[in-house]
Structure 1
């Protein structure tokens, strides 16, 4: 990614692991933020070594973990409903499958499922749920998937352009890509600023807007056809942001900010996180974006 056309946006601290401070650079053409400097591929895994990295566990002890697991169960049903609305049951690839919950429910619903996951810890949990993994995307055939999903994963990928190119290669001509990422143009992002938990630097290398997603995928002749809100994310992110800002989870305050963020999202279509529905451009007769 070329940094020559970027400007300083904000300095943000890694509250989870290293306590180091990183710079966010703004690319005005894409309306995208870039973490700077980005950790080397050798050092990057060390920034994931937090006991609080809940997406790589099935933790269900603390109040926060119980809330997370409850919301996740609802989100899984919504994700399953979404993929079934986009395609007849076929082959689905989930990149960054974590502990495998999404692929497990998709498999139980009749999908032929495949996943990738760099964390051995998360993968071991997923395998116990019957999830099948591939070691490398390069071993998969061209045009072989009806649906490809990346649930809060694209922001973690070091080689962004290559990743989008691989999505294009693997997708069937009539297939669908579903990308979920945080939105730094949301109310909760603006409210919490440098304390906004969804910046999650440095493991979040990229920070997307609707404009960025549309332009980045258009390079591969992939068209953004629909943007959907992830309304639960504003509450989860606000809880963590309160902890970063004040040292404790202020549940009432976080709930209020989460509600307010969704209220503004309903007005300006800028929610805390979005799901982007993307298809091969030549197969779209009418764009909904």
Structure 2
């Protein structure tokens, strides 16, 4: 298998990378992967991960819910319930941050298409891209969405979208800096970029260490904190306009972590940790299990 070894930090360029954690792929392979931390800026990344052309098999499991839409088990039932609530919240957030009730939206990594369908029903002109063929097929069959493969990103004209969303997608993308450059190009001058990613400085990440399910190696290549994603965005001409906690994520991630650790009563243990994480994020939202970041293009006077 061809693997990619990162020689320098994609955020600050430093070559001082040190091994920080050793994690196991609990979903698909049982393989071990190492996380390295940049000694200069603190950015955390998965080292020696499968190259883009070969990583697909690590997603080929019925348990990978964003592609399979499985409802099997209590934890996935919780996921679906929370998703129904969050779809409405995400739609409101998009319209609030974009200062408009309709417009042109691109959803990258749309999965099975729930969010794209929600925004289309709100009157938005929606384009959606997704790498996984099975997920694209689901979106077509259930929502009549013509979701394009991820290669279609290069086909859109510059300044095509008022809003671009990536809901738990950025951590999967091999070509990190190239993606941010493309996002900048595709947005209008007053456009809004909304990115949701796990937060490896969260309460639950600190509690569980290498077992934290949101490390999700090797599918998650990059592991962000509020500081490191702010730095990365600034490198590509964006300013962080707002950030919002996603406290519900702590419940699902904690339950999944407890399952991976093979603890008895994983559901209840996860609920308990999720509750503690919830209260932690109320005090300090940057401790939330996942965060939603809102970015806008820098004005020329700011650059």
Alpha-carbon distance between aligned partners in 2 of 1:110 and 1:20, rounded to the nearest angstrom: 44
Alpha-carbon distance between aligned partners in 2 of 1:44 and 1:70, rounded to the nearest angstrom: 29
Report the CA distance between 1:65 and its aligned residue: 2.5
Contact 1:221–1:280 (8 Å) recurs in 2:
yes
Q: Which residue matches 2:3?
A: none
Q: Which residue matches 1:122?
A: 135
Unaligned residue ranges in structure 1 (runs of 5+) = none
Secondary structure of the corresponding residue to residue 131 of structure 2: coil
Deviates more, 1:39-48 or 1:129-138: 129-138
Secondary structure of the corresponding residue to residue 61 of structure 2: coil
Alpha-carbon distance between aligned partners in 2 of 1:159 and 1:249, rounded to the nearest angstrom: 39
Alpha-carbon distance between aligned partners in 1 of 2:232 and 2:47, rounded to the nearest angstrom: 19
Equivalent residue runs for 1:42-61 within 5 Å: 42-61=53-72
Secondary structure of the corresponding residue to residue 17 of structure 1: coil
TM-score by length of 1: 0.94
Contact 1:195–1:244 (8 Å) recurs in 2:
yes
Matched, 1:170 2:186: yes
Report the CA distance between 1:98 and its aligned residue: 0.2
The count of aligned residue pairs is 285
Q: Which residue matches 1:208?
A: 224
Q: Which residue matches 2:298?
A: 281
Matched, 1:272 2:296: no
Deviates more, 1:61-70 or 1:29-38: 61-70
Report the CA distance between 1:132 and its aligned residue: 2.8
Q: Which residue matches 2:89?
A: 78
Q: Which residue matches 2:32?
A: 21
Contact 1:92–1:112 (8 Å) recurs in 2:
yes
Deviations 1:165-221 (A, max 9, x none): 010000110010000000110110111111110000001000001111111111111
Equivalent residue runs for 1:8-157 within 5 Å: 8-87=19-98, 88=100, 89-128=102-141, 129-135=143-149, 136-157=152-173
Q: Which residue matches 2:239?
A: 223
Secondary structure of the corresponding residue to residue 75 of structure 1: helix
Q: Which residue matches 2:12?
A: none
Matched, 1:194 2:207: no
Q: How has the CA–CA distance of structure 1 residues 227 and 28 changed in structure 2, closer, same or farther, with 3 Å as cutoff?
A: farther
Contact 2:63–2:70 (8 Å) recurs in 1:
no
Deviates more, 1:179-188 or 1:246-255: 246-255
Contact 1:184–1:207 (8 Å) recurs in 2:
yes
Report the CA distance between 1:283 and its aligned residue: 8.2
Contact 1:173–1:283 (8 Å) recurs in 2:
no
Alpha-carbon distance between aligned partners in 1 of 2:300 and 2:187, rounded to the nearest angstrom: 12
Contact 2:28–2:60 (8 Å) recurs in 1:
yes
TM-score by length of 2: 0.90
Q: How has the CA–CA distance of structure 1 residues 47 and 249 changed in structure 2, closer, same or farther, with 3 Å as cutoff?
A: farther
Unaligned residue ranges in structure 2 (runs of 5+) = 1-5, 10-14
Alpha-carbon distance between aligned partners in 2 of 1:225 and 1:187, rounded to the nearest angstrom: 24
Alpha-carbon distance between aligned partners in 1 of 2:255 and 2:156, rounded to the nearest angstrom: 39
Aligned pair partner of 2:195 in 145, 162, 179: 179
